[in-house]
Amino acid sequence: MKSAQSQVRRAAELALLTAAIPPLALSARFVQGRKRAEAVWEASRFPKMGDVGAVKNLTILPLIDWYSVDPDVLEGESGVSYLIRADDTTILFDLGLNKNQEHPSPLLRNMERLGVNFNEIDMIFISHAHLDHIGGMENAREGLFAPSAGYVDLHQMPAYLPTPLVNPAATPIVIEEPTVLAPGIVSMGPIPRQLFFLGWTPEQSLAIHVEGKGVVLIIGCGHPTIQKIIARKEMLFDEPLYGVIGGLHYPVTGSRSVRHGIPAQQIFGTGLWPWQRITKADVHRAIAFLYRRDPKIVALSPHDSCDWSLAAFRTAFGQRYQDLLVGREITI
């Protein structure tokens, strides 16, 4: 009985999600896109980065994510925005969701409460162009990125993007390959993945070389998979992996985002066919893969991973695991 109900529910989900585009067209796009993504991956063979410099101090302050250190003061949502301070360079990593298209947005409100302002930020880094990382659905539709629904003076600061997007107050720069952004701070370049409903998704991650420790990876959603992201890191750097912080998209037992009763994150963004799901076995394989690299800090974003997945990572890495909460700074 339970299996039959599950099949009916999934059929209803698929009917709703495919209403706008014929299923055969989606399927053909998905198959071709996966072949294209794999071809791009196989052709992307980069030399070692060499001496990119190093930073002595690194902190990551979550400004937007699902859980907050104090929900009465700091707001959480199913999006991502982190303030990264690497020596003298300050980076705003992603811009959150702003689901209700407010001004000021949850991001701006949390920034004010945490004493953060745009005058201290040197650059914006967008991991990928999904709505929960560029400021909402309208931005995703219109090819924009914005920290709020109203105008924010970004002082024409550089914004490093994996795909063309615009903001009149910033200076967009599209990253096509591994690039040094500042001493010790590297975009590893976009790694594409074809998603069934969301289409072609290039995602870039930050690699920050911390002196005497190794490379810390800061990841938006991990759509390319943690295996390929770390493979790219090992392609570019001889230094050991010191930390992995951010989203890896493991919504196994639930979804933070629910649309029309549909657990969106279990269907969107997985890189699988819509009737397939990420499983607990997938999470355990990822943990085993990461564990072999012996990172000293792991902090999994809860914005796109369920509590079961958070607990699995926390159990596996023990004292090396840190809860990622809005308002709680992670110090390397």
CATH number at residue 180: 3.60.15.10
| Token pair in block for residue 140 | 């995703």
Query: pTM of the entire structure?
Result: 0.93
DSSP conformation class of 240 = P
> Tell me, what's the pLDDT at 2?
42
User: 69-107, pLDDT tens digit by residue?
Assistant: 999 999 999 999 999 999 999 999 999 999 999 999 999
Whole-angstrom distance, CA of residue 257 vs CA of residue 34: 25
Q: What pLDDT digit, counting tens, does each position of 112-153 carry? A: 999 999 999 999 999 999 999 999 999 999 999 999 999 999
Mean pLDDT value across the chain? 93
- pLDDT higher for 1 or 133? 133
Cα 277 to Cα 249: distance, rounded to the nearest angstrom: 12
pLDDT, mean of residues 161-171: 97
Angle at 244 between CA 156 and CA 316, to 5 degrees: 155
| Whether residue 1 has pLDDT greater than 60 | no
Burial label for 25, CB within 10 Å (0-12, 13-18, 19+), is exposed
Q: How confident is the model at residue 21 (pLDDT cuts 50, 70, 90)?
A: low
Range of the domain at 110: 2-331
Look at the alpha carbons of 239, 245, 249, 254 in this order and tell me if their dihedral is positive or negative: positive
Q: Spell out the long-range contacts of 7-10 with Cβ–Cβ below 8 A and sequence spacing 24 or more.
A: 10/274, 10/275
Question: Comparing C-alpha atoms, which of 293, 202, 289, 204 is closest to residue 241?
Answer: 293
187-243 pLDDT per residue, tens: 999 999 999 999 999 999 999 999 999 999 999 999 999 999 999 999 999 999 999
Asked if 48 and 200 count as a contact pair (C-beta separation under 8 A), the reply is no
DSSP string for 8-19 = HHHHHHHHHHTS
In the block, residue with structure tokens 């930390």: 243
Q: How far is CA 241 from CA 110, 167, 231, in A?
A: 31, 34, 11
pLDDT of residue 6: 52
Q: Please give the Cα distance from 159 to 156 (Å, whole number).
A: 9
Region 179-185 average pLDDT: 98
Q: Which residue has the higher pLDDT, 238 or 19?
A: 238
Give the chain's domain count: 1
